[in-house]
Structure 1
């Protein structure tokens, strides 16, 4: 489908780059629409566990019409990702988006487990913010780091709220991290972990969340932005798994 001859479009695409992007974009929209439909159906039928089934790509046990549709969608996603790999295209489909894959190891050990975990509606904002981070990284934008850290902050807040540790007096991520490291709250994370996460917000996000004034704007290169995103993914994955 992606590699049909350009002439089938009567050269209206102009250049190969535009042609391929349009075709991949169409595939993305079709898969996203199907996934959104299935999410609505599962919700209306009170079947639950859609996120787990959908992202872990396991077949449902029963065979209602909705389960059959879900099974068909899972097989289609697996085939799409397989075709990307066989064609040596650096793409993968996750949670409604086709995204770039920079290396297979990171994809398998960090990104896939991450998307599986945040597919639950509880982590909806985390999912959205991390997708924004990746889109901005791929577009070469500096604020990719800011969105990755937003996703980490959202995770910390959800955990604090869920466990009823939030006091209402928190003024930023540092206070929410204190809720997680508090001995009174059972030391959800260790002190060194709290310090490491606070350092991320202090050195990476804070300089990008305020006006630079007469100082030099913070700038990073592509590999640094990718490292920041992967670091946030690893932290989020670790925190969610502890629940």
Structure 2
């Protein structure tokens, strides 16, 4: 399991992420005692909520224990694992609240292709897909909490992830804290790419200066302005 903190906190496992919307669903199940009532209370369809629980359980394990029929009419309750995930999510969220200034990476380049608002920008590090309103020379901004770092031998193929921007690189600096570490990665740009990971994740990935990593981020997380 990998936990990456951000203002949009989530917990990820096997390519599936449990985010604030999923946490609200699990808490509603715990509160209402059934998936059906939880979905109604949140204004969501039962079918969609059920599919989402199945997706989450395929990655994390059993989260909801279902009781069928009986004198109480059946219902649902959270498993011990679900409680642990909710607690981990809350710890990560609280630990990140103290981060007042999120580091950003700035990349400069030139728009070479466009599909609506989504542009292909040629930078010193390579081609970047980003949301850019104009053409010509642009400046791209990428928040450190939008970058995911993975081991080069354990990086999902592009078809299995929405983070189509990916660059191999080398860790050049690490700024550690109580819970969060800021990782600087040389991807061939003018300045290192910055990423935020939990200290637990840093330990699991074995990140140290000189470590090889793959940095990935979504096109929608990368904003550009004309310069």
Give me the TM-score of the superposition, normalised by structure 2: 0.23
- Give the number of the structure with larger relative contact order, counting CA–CA contacts within 8 Å between residues 6 or more apart: 2
More strand per residue: 2
More helix per residue: 1
